[in-house]
Amino acid sequence: MGDEPELKGHLNLVVALPPEAKPLIRHFGLEFKSGDTFNVYANGGETIHLIISGVGKVSAAAAVSHLASLSRGNSATAWFNVGVAGHKTLSVSTLVAAHKITDAGSGRSWYPPMVLDLPCGTAAVRTVDKETHDYPDGCLVDMEATGFYATALRFTSHELIHCLKVVSDNSEQNDLDYGTVAKMIREHLDAVETVADQLLQLSIEKSDRQAPPSHLELFLQQWKFSVTRAHKLEKLLQRWTLLIPDSDPLDSAIPECQDGKEVLEFLTERLERIPVKAASL
């Protein structure tokens, strides 16, 4: 096992404004990577990417699609939107995570699963098409979240997509000062990192679950399998790894099997002998 590559999580950060991006770029040690359509930054190992989308849900959606391609994202990649939003009563600079995201135009809603150990409270986010100082009771108001979330969902699953917002304006202080946005984000970098670390860990775990079984290539070299039988072989080897981790399936199969068909029959029969209690793990 020592020769296997180290599994790494991947995290894509999406922010609307350069002042939101600047503290994150510095904190995560990101460097400029591309600027053809959007400005994109990445760390040395390219496990973290950041893209500056510009304002609005259409821009956010386009940025997610662009970054998914540029970063070679897959279904195990985590997506994280960090930015500012308004709220009727919360104090400016309060950090909030989104537990519901609603598009004001269509009325459609999405619900990020609350699977993380969040460093802050949560609230619903309402995404509007134009800047407004009309704050629905209990809701954050932004212009990017639904474009970000709905598009990221094309590439990964709900638990790997989250939004973290810093309150930038409220009913008493509604003159949004972009000059202080970077300062607001900077105040919450530890919390942002806490969420980012958890998303990276979820990404690693999902990548691990999706990785081909370690013995798959050896089986394919030893015997001939059709495409359909190769898929079945992969699933059987995944079960074998889970249920009989201390037994080498290749060593067990070589003296027993003459061809791919016999391999599948052997693995199936052996796995069916595993006690029901073990199979439920």
Q: Distance between CA 228 and CA 235 in Å, rounded?
A: 11
pLDDT in tens, 153-208: 999 999 999 999 999 999 998 777 777 999 999 999 999 999 999 999 999 888 87
* Structural tokens at position 118: 């969040």
Q: Does the global pTM surpass 0.85? A: no
Q: Distance between CA 53 and CA 144 in Å, rounded?
A: 9
**What domains does the chain contain, in order, with CATH numbers?**
11-209 (3.40.50.1580), 212-279 (no CATH)
According to DSSP, residue 91 is labeled P
Q: How far is CA 80 from CA 18, 178, 199, 259, in A?
A: 16, 21, 8, 47
Q: Distance between CA 32 and CA 43 in Å, rounded?
A: 9
Per-residue pLDDT of the chain (281 residues; tens, 9 = 90+): 334 344 478 999 999 999 999 999 999 999 999 888 999 999 998 999 999 999 999 999 999 999 999 988 788 899 999 999 999 999 999 999 999 999 999 999 999 999 999 999 999 999 999 988 888 888 999 999 999 999 999 999 999 999 999 999 999 987 777 779 999 999 999 999 999 999 999 998 888 776 666 778 888 888 888 888 888 888 888 778 767 777 888 887 878 888 888 889 988 888 888 764 433 33
Q: Which residues contact 123 (CB under 8 A, 6 or more apart)?
A: 87, 90, 96, 97, 98, 99, 138, 139, 140
Q: What is the DSSP string of 190-210?
A: HHHHHHHHHHHHHHHHHHHHH
Computed over every residue of the chain, the mean pLDDT equals 88
According to DSSP, residue 123 is labeled E
The residue among 102, 99, 90, 98 whose CA lies nearest residue 169 is 90
